[in-house]
Structure 1
Amino acid sequence: MLHKPLPVVRSLDLGIGFLIGDSSRMLRRIFNERIAPLGLTQAQWRALVHLSRNEGLNQVSLADLLDVQPITVARLIDKLVAAGFVERRPDPKDRRAQRLFLTEQAAPLLDQIWDIAEEIYGTILGGFARSEVEALAGLLERLRGNVAAVHLGASSAPTRGD
């Protein structure tokens, strides 16, 4: 049985999903190449960056942010703990859980990661006006919110910025 084709939507004509996916993939590849001399894998630098923005996460929450299984994060955190960049602390609300925190040893490494990020973004956004960068960030935040709402099955309509 043939499926009825989807109606043509202008955003699909523009290939927005492909543009976002390709840009994200290429950007991650650039980061991986520039961060490799620091001795970090993609999973490690992404975990450190997420923890720098959300210290005190538990491993399950970090796994959600990294889009991996909790067991994968457990092994990843084991390596970051062994390297002295992360420490586990008991969760005061749940004695079975542990919270993740960066150590002082992670600070210089994160400074290097931020320097690399600043250099990369300075290059890839070099031809954009400040207002364009701010508009792009706002649009991507709104898009992420709409995608999250669909992902979570929210019944509210996506936001519109008229």
Structure 2
Amino acid sequence: MKNDVLSTPGHLISLAARGFARLSEARLKPLGFGVGYLPVLIALQNGKASTQRDLARFAKVEQPPMAQMLARMERDGLIQRTPHPDDRRSSRIVLTRAAQARLPDAIETLFKGNRDAMDGFTEEEAVQLVALLTRLIENLDQITTGVDGNKLRN
């Protein structure tokens, strides 16, 4: 079992992530959202970010993919860009009213998907799983980020 690459945490977590993504996409599509949009929508809703740079940091993605996602979200009527008052090169990004109106249903849809996926788990097991995954993500962030804050190239 130790040498079975298909039983490693990395592989199993990857399978689980893909399963969650498929479930979420299927359930969010009728609401006009993609699962990849959610970190941006939540950051904008909570006031955690309002520029492309801030959103990229929050969602832990590079700037070019964030720019592409924001263009799709703008096309889909989910966000609006306005000139940034302090930086002419930047735009402030806000949720449209349509996105604000549909976001609570999308969040509830995601919570329901998580509850469905955790069927058969005790509350304690679910809490433990979240704690373990959080630690794992922190470890991976430490491994992949150099001392100076730049991503390692290896």
- Whether the TM-score (by the shorter chain) exceeds 0.5 is yes
Residue equivalent to 2:104:
111
Shift of 1:41: 3.5
Identify the match of residue 78 of structure 1 among 71, 77, 80: 71
Output the CA distance in 1 between the equivalents of 2:5 and 2:64: 36
- The alpha carbon displacement at 1:74 in A equals 2.7
TM-score by length of 2: 0.74
Secondary structure of 2:55's counterpart equals: helix
Q: Aligned to 1:87, what secondary structure does the other structure show? A: strand
Identify unmatched segments of 5+ residues in structure 1. Answer: 1-8, 156-162
**Which sections of structure 2, spanning at least 5 residues, go unmatched?**
149-154
Superposed, 1:63-102 pairs within 5 Å as 63-64=56-57, 65=59, 67=61, 69-102=62-95
- Offset from partner CA, 1:46-81 (integer Å, 9 cap, x none): 5324533554242134335263x5344334323433
**CA distance in 2: counterparts of 1:58 and 1:118, whole angstroms:** 27
Provide closer, same or farther for how the CA distance between residues 13 and 86 of structure 1 changes in structure 2, counting only shifts above 3 A: closer
Judged with a 3 Å threshold, the aligned counterparts in structure 2 of structure 1 residues 147 and 52 are, in CA distance, closer, same or farther, namely: farther
State the shift of 1:42 in Å: 4.0
Q: Percent identity?
A: 25
Q: How does 1:117-136 map to 2 (within 5 A)?
A: 117-136=110-129
1:87 shift after superposition: 2.5
Letter in 2 for 1:115: E
CA distance in 1, matches of 2:13, 2:147: 23
Further displaced range: 144-153 or 44-53: 44-53
Aligned-residue offset at 1:14: 4.1
User: Who is 1:59 aligned against?
Assistant: 52
TM-score by length of 1: 0.71
**Aligned-residue offset at 1:36:** 1.6
Q: Output one character per residue of 1:120-146: Cα deviation in whole Å (capped at 9) or x when no partner.
A: 111111211111111111111111111
Check 1:149–1:54 CA distance in 2 against 1; reply closer, same or farther (3 A cut): farther
- Relative to 1, partners in 2 of residues 1:130 and 1:85: Cα closer, same or farther, differing over 3 Å? same
Question: Deviation at 1:110?
Answer: 0.8
Hey, what's the Cα distance between the residues in 2 that align with 1:55 and 1:88? 16
